[in-house]
Amino acid sequence: MAYIDGFVLAVPTANKDKFVEHARKGDSVFMDLGAVRVFECWGDDIPDGKQTDFRRAVQAKADETVVFSWIEWPDKATRDAAMAKMDDLMKTDERMDPEKNPMPFDGKRMIYGGFAPVMTLGD
Protein backbone atom coordinates (compact mmCIF):
# COMPACT_ATOMS: atom_id res chain seq x y z
CA MET A 1 0.00 0.00 0.00
CA ALA A 2 1.22 3.51 -0.80
CA TYR A 3 2.71 5.77 1.83
CA ILE A 4 2.47 9.58 1.86
CA ASP A 5 4.74 12.26 3.30
CA GLY A 6 2.80 15.52 3.65
CA PHE A 7 4.05 19.07 4.16
CA VAL A 8 2.54 22.50 4.79
CA LEU A 9 4.73 25.59 4.71
CA ALA A 10 4.61 29.34 4.28
CA VAL A 11 6.65 30.77 1.41
CA PRO A 12 7.20 34.48 0.83
CA THR A 13 4.98 35.19 -2.16
CA ALA A 14 7.83 37.06 -3.84
CA ASN A 15 9.89 33.83 -3.69
CA LYS A 16 7.50 31.71 -5.77
CA ASP A 17 9.97 31.21 -8.64
CA LYS A 18 12.80 30.46 -6.20
CA PHE A 19 10.57 27.96 -4.41
CA VAL A 20 9.67 26.18 -7.66
CA GLU A 21 13.34 25.90 -8.61
CA HIS A 22 14.28 24.70 -5.12
CA ALA A 23 11.50 22.08 -5.25
CA ARG A 24 12.42 20.98 -8.79
CA LYS A 25 15.94 20.19 -7.64
CA GLY A 26 15.11 18.68 -4.25
CA ASP A 27 12.06 16.70 -5.38
CA SER A 28 14.09 15.01 -8.10
CA VAL A 29 16.07 13.34 -5.30
CA PHE A 30 12.86 11.78 -3.94
CA MET A 31 12.01 10.51 -7.41
CA ASP A 32 15.52 9.02 -7.74
CA LEU A 33 14.97 7.28 -4.38
CA GLY A 34 11.74 5.61 -5.49
CA ALA A 35 8.92 8.13 -5.02
CA VAL A 36 5.97 7.53 -7.33
CA ARG A 37 5.13 11.23 -7.63
CA VAL A 38 5.55 14.55 -5.87
CA PHE A 39 3.07 17.41 -5.69
CA GLU A 40 3.96 21.02 -4.87
CA CYS A 41 0.74 23.03 -4.61
CA TRP A 42 0.78 26.84 -4.37
CA GLY A 43 -2.05 28.17 -2.19
CA ASP A 44 -4.91 29.60 -4.21
CA ASP A 45 -8.04 29.42 -2.04
CA ILE A 46 -6.98 29.26 1.63
CA PRO A 47 -9.92 30.37 3.79
CA ASP A 48 -9.54 31.62 7.33
CA GLY A 49 -10.93 29.13 9.83
CA LYS A 50 -12.77 29.85 13.04
CA GLN A 51 -10.37 27.93 15.31
CA THR A 52 -7.45 27.01 13.08
CA ASP A 53 -6.50 26.89 9.42
CA PHE A 54 -3.56 26.33 7.11
CA ARG A 55 -2.24 29.89 7.51
CA ARG A 56 -2.24 29.73 11.31
CA ALA A 57 -0.74 26.23 11.32
CA VAL A 58 2.46 27.59 9.75
CA GLN A 59 2.19 31.14 11.12
CA ALA A 60 1.95 32.55 7.58
CA LYS A 61 2.46 36.28 7.33
CA ALA A 62 0.47 38.62 5.08
CA ASP A 63 3.19 38.51 2.40
CA GLU A 64 3.43 34.69 2.39
CA THR A 65 1.56 32.00 0.50
CA VAL A 66 0.73 28.59 1.97
CA VAL A 67 2.17 25.62 0.09
CA PHE A 68 0.74 22.12 0.47
CA SER A 69 3.02 19.34 -0.74
CA TRP A 70 3.15 15.59 -0.65
CA ILE A 71 5.33 12.75 -1.78
CA GLU A 72 3.71 9.49 -2.77
CA TRP A 73 5.83 6.40 -2.16
CA PRO A 74 4.96 2.88 -3.32
CA ASP A 75 5.14 1.72 0.31
CA LYS A 76 6.53 2.68 3.72
CA ALA A 77 9.62 0.49 3.30
CA THR A 78 10.69 2.45 0.20
CA ARG A 79 10.08 5.73 2.03
CA ASP A 80 12.02 4.61 5.10
CA ALA A 81 14.95 3.45 2.95
CA ALA A 82 14.98 6.80 1.16
CA MET A 83 14.89 8.77 4.41
CA ALA A 84 17.76 6.69 5.80
CA LYS A 85 19.91 8.00 2.91
CA MET A 86 19.00 11.67 3.38
CA ASP A 87 21.73 12.66 5.87
CA ASP A 88 24.43 11.43 3.50
CA LEU A 89 22.74 13.01 0.48
CA MET A 90 22.64 16.39 2.20
CA LYS A 91 26.45 16.21 2.27
CA THR A 92 27.05 14.66 -1.16
CA ASP A 93 24.21 15.71 -3.50
CA GLU A 94 24.07 19.36 -4.58
CA ARG A 95 20.28 19.14 -4.94
CA MET A 96 20.00 18.56 -1.17
CA ASP A 97 22.86 20.83 -0.09
CA PRO A 98 21.35 23.81 1.79
CA GLU A 99 24.17 26.04 0.56
CA LYS A 100 23.71 25.14 -3.12
CA ASN A 101 19.91 24.78 -2.99
CA PRO A 102 18.81 27.04 -0.11
CA MET A 103 15.24 26.92 1.17
CA PRO A 104 13.49 30.15 0.10
CA PHE A 105 11.23 29.93 3.17
CA ASP A 106 11.45 29.51 6.94
CA GLY A 107 11.88 25.76 7.42
CA LYS A 108 11.22 26.06 11.16
CA ARG A 109 7.56 26.80 10.43
CA MET A 110 7.08 23.85 8.07
CA ILE A 111 4.86 21.07 9.38
CA TYR A 112 5.17 17.54 8.03
CA GLY A 113 4.38 13.94 8.73
CA GLY A 114 4.08 10.46 7.28
CA PHE A 115 0.67 9.01 6.54
CA ALA A 116 -0.66 5.52 5.82
CA PRO A 117 -3.67 5.76 3.50
CA VAL A 118 -6.83 4.17 4.86
CA MET A 119 -8.87 4.71 1.70
CA THR A 120 -8.24 5.91 -1.86
CA LEU A 121 -10.52 6.64 -4.80
CA GLY A 122 -9.49 7.07 -8.43
CA ASP A 123 -5.96 6.75 -9.78
Taking the C-alpha atoms of residue 76 and residue 116, their distance in angstroms, rounded to an integer, is 8
Taking the C-alpha atoms of residue 22 and residue 96, their distance in angstroms, rounded to an integer, is 9
Q: How confident is the model at residue 87 (pLDDT cuts 50, 70, 90)?
A: confident
The hierarchical CATH code for the domain 3-54+76-115 is 3.30.70.100
DSSP state, 104? S
Q: How confident is the model at residue 90 (pLDDT cuts 50, 70, 90)?
A: confident
Using one digit for the tens of pLDDT, what is the confidence trace for 39-51? 999 999 999 999 9
Can you give the pLDDT at residue 99? 86
Assessment of whether the complete model's pTM goes beyond 0.85: yes
